[in-house]
Amino acid sequence: MPCHRYDIPSSRREFLGRAGAGFGAVALAAMMNESPAGAAPAPMSAAMTKIPSRLGKAKSVIFCFMEGGPSHLDTFDPKPLLNKMHGEKLPASFKPPVLAMGESDAPLMESKRSWKQHGQSGLWVSDWFENVARHADDLAVIHSCTSDGINHAGGVCQMNTGSIFGGRPSLGAWVNYGLGSENHDLPGFVVIKDSEGTVVNGVRNWGSGFMPAVHQGVEFTSEGVPIKYLDNPKGSTQQQQRDKLDLLASLNRDYGATRTDNTELEARIRAYELAYTMQAEAPVAVDLEKESASTRALYGMDQPETAVYGRNCLLARRLVERGVRFVQLYSGAGSKWDSHSKLEENHSRLCRAVDKPIAGLLSDLKQRGLLDETLVIWGGEFGRTPMSEQGGGRDHNPNGFTMWMAGGGVKGGQVIGATDELGLYAIEDKMHVHDIHSTILHLLGVDHTQLVYHHKGRPERIDQNEGHANVKLAGA
C-alpha cells in the first residue's frame, strides 16, 4: 500500500489559506479589512506568525534608489584630509579593502565639490545637492552604512532583499505583506524607473520570493501612460470586461482547486481583479495634469534635465496620499551611477536630474501634512572609494557609505555614525543593510522580529535574523 502524507492545518487561518486554492483566505482577508477608515488592513497570509501593531508614525515609504552607487565622498560625507592627501597612496594603517574592480594601491583622489553647512543643524552637503540641502533639518544622514555586495548584482540584491543572492522577498514585498494596502483599488507596492534601462537583477528586486506572488511590486512606466494595458480593448464594454473576468476566475478556481501551492495562479486572479478596479481609481491617481503648474514646476517638470525624475516623484506623492504603502523610484536604471571613470561628468548630470525633484517631493509632502507619515529614503547599493580609478573615477565601496531618511517619524537634522577620516570604512554606529531594513520596519510600526514568514519549516525575516533597529533615527 502506498504511503500518503497529509499535512493537517494547525489553525483556521491555515485551513482557509489552503482550502479552495486559497480563496478562503481571500474571503478572510476581505472580512478583516472591513476596519475603520485609516486602520491598517490585515495581511492575507497563513504563514505570518503575528500581525504587528501599528506604533510607528510612518504609513508609507518612498525609496529614492540611486542605482549604481553614488559617491558619499562627493555628496554628503566631506573628508578634508582626502583633499590634503590627493595623489598619495592609502596609508599603511588602513587595511586594503576587497574591491570589485580597482586596485587598493591606487592614489587617493580629492573631491572637487564645494561644501557648506545647512540649516540650524549645520549638516554638511555638497553643491551637487543644493536643493535637498534646504531640507537639512528634516534629514537624518547615516554615514555608517555597510553592505556585503562588492558588485552591483550582489549590492542591489541585498539592498532590496537582504541577501546578495536572488530569490528572497523584496523589502517592499515584506512591507506589503505585513501591513497590506490602505487602498484596495491600487497596488500596495509600486516601482517606477527613470528610463527603460534594465535594473540589474531585473524584476527580482521587487519580487515576492518565497512569499505569495500577490505581494510583489507592480512596475509603472516612466513615459506615457504609467500603467500599461489598463484601458479596455477597443469595442469592449465594461460589462463585457466584467463577464470575461468572471469566466477567467471560474476557470482558474477550477484549475487551482487541485493545485493549492500555486501562488502564481492566485496572484494572477487577484491581478485581474485589481486591474478591473484600477480602471476607475488609477487614471485619477496618475493624472498629473490635475496638478497646478506651480506644483509641477516645484518638482522640476518644466525643465528637461529634471522632468523625468520630477514626474516620478510627483506620481509617488499622488500614490502615497491615496494609500499605496511602498513606492520605489529608480534613478539611473542600468547602474548609471556607477563611476569608475569621469565621476565629475557622470555625477554632475545625475545629481542635477534628481536634486530638485527630491527637494520638491520633501516640500510638497510637508506642505500637505504628509511628511510626518511618509518615510522618504535616499541611497544606493553602496558608495565609492577614496582611491581613484582610471584617473577620474572611484571604485565600489560597501565598507562605509551614506544614506539619508526624512519624514515618517525620523528626527531630522542629525548625523548617525561616521566613516574614517578618508571615508573608506564605517567606524562608528555601523548600520548594515539588515539594520537599515529593521529600522525602516521600526519606523513603520512593525517589530522586525515579529514579521515572520514560515518557509520550508524555517521562520524567515527580512533581516535574516541579524538586524537591529536604530532607534536614534526616531530620536529615542
3-state secondary structure of 22: helix
Length of the chain: 476
3-state secondary structure of 260: coil
What is the reported pLDDT for 311?
96
Torsion, CA 145, CA 149, CA 151, CA 152, rounded to 10 = -70
Where in the sequence is the domain holding 393, given as residue range(s)? 54-227+286-474
CA distances from 233 to 131, 243, 271, 385 (A): 44, 14, 17, 52
> Quick one: which H or E segment has residue 326?
strand 326-331
Angle at 134 between CA 400 and CA 318, to 5 degrees: 90
User: Considering the domain boundaries, does residue 245 fall inside one?
Assistant: no
pLDDT-based confidence at 276, cuts 50/70/90?
low
Residue 407 and residue 365 in contact, taking contact as beta carbons nearer than 8 Å:
yes
Highest average pLDDT, of 89-98, 125-134, 283-292, comes from: 125-134
300-338 tens-digit pLDDT: 999 999 999 999 999 999 999 999 999 999 999 999 999
User: Considering the domain boundaries, does residue 37 fall inside one?
Assistant: no
CA distances from 145 to 141, 268, 286, 309, 399 (A): 10, 37, 34, 25, 8
| Better-scored residue on pLDDT, 170 or 3 | 170
CA distance 413 to 395: 29
User: Considering the domain boundaries, does residue 138 fall inside one?
Assistant: yes
Residue 329 and residue 63 in contact, taking contact as beta carbons nearer than 8 Å:
yes
User: Considering the domain boundaries, does residue 275 fall inside one?
Assistant: no
The DSSP-derived string for 135-174 is GGGGEEEEEEEE-S-SSHHHHHHHHHHSSSSS-SPPHHHH
What is the reported pLDDT for 280?
61
Report the sign of the C-alpha dihedral through residues 418, 424, 430, 436, in that order. Answer: positive
> Quick one: which H or E segment has residue 190?
strand 189-193
Q: Which amino acid is at 369?
A: G
User: Considering the domain boundaries, does residue 455 fall inside one?
Assistant: yes
User: Considering the domain boundaries, does residue 5 fall inside one?
Assistant: no
378-388 tens-digit pLDDT: 999 999 999 99
CATH number where 129 lies: 3.40.720
| Better-scored residue on pLDDT, 457 or 262 | 457
User: Considering the domain boundaries, does residue 454 fall inside one?
Assistant: yes
CA distance 179 to 188: 9
| Better-scored residue on pLDDT, 466 or 39 | 466
Residue 79 pLDDT exceeds 90: yes
Residue 145 and residue 426 in contact, taking contact as beta carbons nearer than 8 Å:
yes
The percentage of the chain sitting over the pLDDT mark of 90, rounded to a whole number, equals 66
What mean pLDDT comes out for the span 422-433? 97
User: Considering the domain boundaries, does residue 399 fall inside one?
Assistant: yes
How many structural domains is the chain composed of? 1
Running DSSP on this structure, what letter comes out for residue 48?
Answer: B
204-259 tens-digit pLDDT: 999 999 998 889 999 998 676 666 656 666 667 777 767 776 787 788 777 767 77
